[in-house]
Amino acid sequence: MDAAEEISILALSLQVAGVATIAILPIGVLLAWLLAGFRGRVRVVVESLLTLPLVLPPTAIGILLLTMLSKNTWLGRMIAALGVEILFTWRAAVLASAVMSLPLLVRSARTAFEEIDPRLLGVARTLGDGPLRVFLRVALPLAWRGILAGTLLSFCRALGEFGATILVAGNIPHRTQTLALAIFHRSQVGRDADALRLVAVVSLVAFVAVYATERFGKRRDDTRSAT
């Protein structure tokens, strides 16, 4: 494997992980904010559903996505009518990565929102701020470290996604072959040296992201203990 091919695989992987992370960021933060303010069975049910991608085999998620997007379903027919191609394209890799990484963002952001002193939110409401202004002006600035940590973790999860991706996007060189898929393929065909080199690349990228997550988490703990 030459350097150009490795760079191409890395670029595609970063593109897929980046787009997936950006796509789930507003959804994940909103879900986390809503869950932080709710109690009861509804919250338990929603959290259980959101956690399924973490506990189910990734291939099971891939089969579900493949079934939902097939032309035999209303969703698949609607997408086909719009002329949008998803299955076995890089968009499918983004979708699979987004579904698999969303729970990490929601859990981290929800914890950050729950750590906010309720009195601060109450003061903002008494000053006349509506729910949206409270969220934007008080909650987000106070929870940004936890949200950022969850975003970085989600990016790492998206970068390493394999099981769901290979089912909905396939393993097509220069089109859908991300780092995880390339490592698997090269290992299967006996190109262990190439596979190990890609392992080193993805490990380095993931280490930087996880290190940054830990640093933000430590600063958040230090800030909380100081107050």
Tell me the CATH number at 190. 1.10.3720.10
Whole-model pTM: value is 0.88
pLDDT at 217: 64
pLDDT at 214: 79
**How many angstroms separate the CA atoms of 202 and 16, rounded?**
14
Domain that holds residue 199: 3-226
87-122 burial string, b = 16+ CB within 10 Å, else e? bbbbbbbbbbbbbbbbbbbbbbbbbbbeebeeeebe
pLDDT at 12: 94
- CA distance from start to end of the chain: 53
Count of residues making up the chain: 227
Helix boundaries (H) for the chain = 3-36, 41-55, 58-69, 74-81, 90-114, 118-126, 131-134, 140-159, 163-168, 179-188, 192-226
pLDDT at 121: 85
pLDDT at 39: 78
Question: Which letter does DSSP use for residue 29 in this model?
Answer: H
Answer yes or no: are the C-beta atoms of 13 and 179 closer than 8 Å. yes
Question: What is the distance, to the nearest Å, from the Cα of residue 66 to the centroid of all Cα atoms in its chain?
Answer: 19
**How many angstroms separate the CA atoms of 12 and 15, rounded?**
5
The continuous run of DSSP H or E covering 214 comes out as helix 192-226
Sequential pLDDT tens for the chain (227 residues):
577 888 899 999 999 999 999 999 999 999 999 998 887 788 889 899 999 999 999 999 999 999 999 888 898 899 888 888 999 999 999 999 999 999 999 999 999 999 988 888 888 888 877 888 888 888 999 999 899 989 999 999 999 999 999 999 999 988 999 999 999 999 998 899 999 999 998 999 889 888 887 776 665 555 555 45
Q: How many CB atoms lie within 10 A of CB 157?
A: 24
**How many angstroms separate the CA atoms of 146 and 99, rounded?**
20
Domain total of the chain: 1
Handedness of CA 166, 155, 215, 6 (dihedral sign): positive
Largest Cα–Cα distance in the chain? Answer: 66
pLDDT at 218: 63
**How many angstroms separate the CA atoms of 30 and 109, rounded?**
9
Tell the burial category of 45 from Cβ atoms under 10 Å away from its Cβ (0-12, 13-18, 19+): exposed
pLDDT at 97: 96
pLDDT at 220: 57
pLDDT at 221: 57
